[in-house]
Copies of this chain bind each other. A is one copy, B any other.
Amino acid sequence: MRLVIARCSVDYVGRLTAHLPMATRLLVVKADGSVLVHSDGGSYKPLNWMSPPCSLREEAGTWTVTNRAGEQLIITLDAIVYESSHDLGVDPGLVKDGVEAHLQVLLAAHIETFGEGYQLVRREYPTPVGPVDILARAPSFGVDDDVGPGGGRHIAIEIKRRAGIDAVEQLTRYLDLLNRDPLLAPVGGVLAAQMIAPQARTLAEDRGIRCVVVDYDQLRGLDDPSLRLF
């Protein structure tokens, strides 16, 4: 990894064009040839960059970074303030927990979160437009209930960390499809998420989809250690 502090201007020509006026910035050149241009503030996102695979050509006062698609990052160097190089080796990588996948595991293991007597049919229930996160069966409590052949009503559950309108649309597509299957219909919908955007809730309820806000930490407290990812 090469670190360069330099006064430079930068032009990107690719999916869009972007220009950075002359100023002092950090340039990071990684082992795979990728280049980051960072200012001393803002966020983790560089002002400009080129992702690998790409090649760096150095000339007099100009660096040109090109990728396979022909996109170019052109760095015009006015003055190099500082430079150093380091061998970091390969990184062992990141271990994550808490994402949607784990929510799905936890909710499948605690399907009663959605109501007493709920039974898991399966996780990742396949449909032609993609897998439904969880398919479950709700119990029937009376003869008037709108029950399916299984003796209960099927429930398709869409799980999101944060649910927006797109989650409602996605679940709606699943429900349209599943309800065409006489062995499953009628299938109800549940949107389960840590956070549900107000517009998403409105749209969901308008379509008869139940909204359930789930508490990840609480679910996690209920789980047994074997369900933990690390």
**Chain A residues within 8 Å of B, Cβ to Cβ:** 1, 3, 5, 15-21, 23-26, 28, 30-32, 34, 36, 38-49, 51-52, 81-82, 84, 86-99, 161, 165-166, 169, 230
Contact = CB atoms under 8 A, between A and B. Distances in A.
Contacts of A161: 15
Given A26-B88, A51-B43, A89-B24, A94 B19 contact: yes
Contacts of A92: 20-21, 23
Contact of A18 (B31, B34, B51, B94): B94
A201 to B, nearest CB: 14
A12 to B, nearest CB: 9
> What 6 A-B pairs have minimum CB-CB distances, sorted nearest first?
A16-B98, A39-B91, A40-B88, A44-B49, A1-B40, A21-B92
A3 B1 contact: no
Contact of A82 (B39, B82, B86, B230): B86
A5 B86 CA distance: 8
A89 B22 CA distance: 12
A141 to B, nearest CB: 35
